[in-house]
Amino acid sequence: MKAIEYKLEASTRRRDERGFLVDFLKADELKNDDKQFGQIYFITFEKPGAVRGNHYHTGKKEWFVIGQGKILVILEDIKTKQRETMIMDGDEDVYHRLYVGNNVAHTLVNLTPFAYVVNYCNKAYHPDNPDSIRYELVKEVKNGKS
């Protein structure tokens, strides 16, 4: 069985009296076909249990880092149904960057009162061709109702 196309890597974090700086993603860490600039997203989660994602892409690749808070990440290969789950914590001493490849459904669930995620995508979002195919890994709750 082919493994899910994802990778979790530690990112360099430098701290001094002003705060810290994290190397999110460098050009030399990308394959040539991923170096075309796409889009950077800043995503907030403003309550515990907030769900983002529940989709996959056929042409886009994404890299995520948790800036603050704790996020449950669920990944599933849409063809093999192989599933991986992990918790990413933006408050740990080591930051981790998550790469998610094509045809890997992904959902992020907030586990803390507030969290934010920074995301790089190798292709820009276009409303007329979003390349985001709905794939429910977690039932979303809206206004207290599922």
Amino acid at position 92, single letter: E
Q: Domain for residue 1, yes or no?
A: no
- Please give the tally of structural domains in the chain: 1
Alpha-carbon span 54 to 133, nearest angstrom: 8
The whole-model pTM stands at 0.86
User: Two tokens at 84?
Assistant: 């991986």
Alpha-carbon span 109 to 118, nearest angstrom: 15
Q: Domain for residue 96, yes or no?
A: yes
Q: Domain for residue 10, yes or no?
A: yes
> The domain that contains 103 carries what CATH number?
2.60.120.10
Q: Domain for residue 87, yes or no?
A: yes
Q: Domain for residue 139, yes or no?
A: no
User: What is the domain extent for residue 30?
Assistant: 6-134
Q: Domain for residue 140, yes or no?
A: no
pLDDT at 145: 47
Sequence-ordered list of residues with C-beta below 8 angstroms from that of 15, at least 6 positions apart, any chain: none
Alpha-carbon span 59 to 102, nearest angstrom: 6
Q: Domain for residue 144, yes or no?
A: no
- What does each of the 146 residues of the chain score in pLDDT, given as a tens digit? 668 999 898 877 778 898 878 877 777 777 777 777 789 899 999 999 999 999 999 999 999 999 999 999 999 999 999 999 999 999 887 889 999 999 999 999 999 999 999 999 989 888 898 899 999 999 876 655 44
Dihedral angle over CA of 66, 68, 69, 71, nearest 10: -10
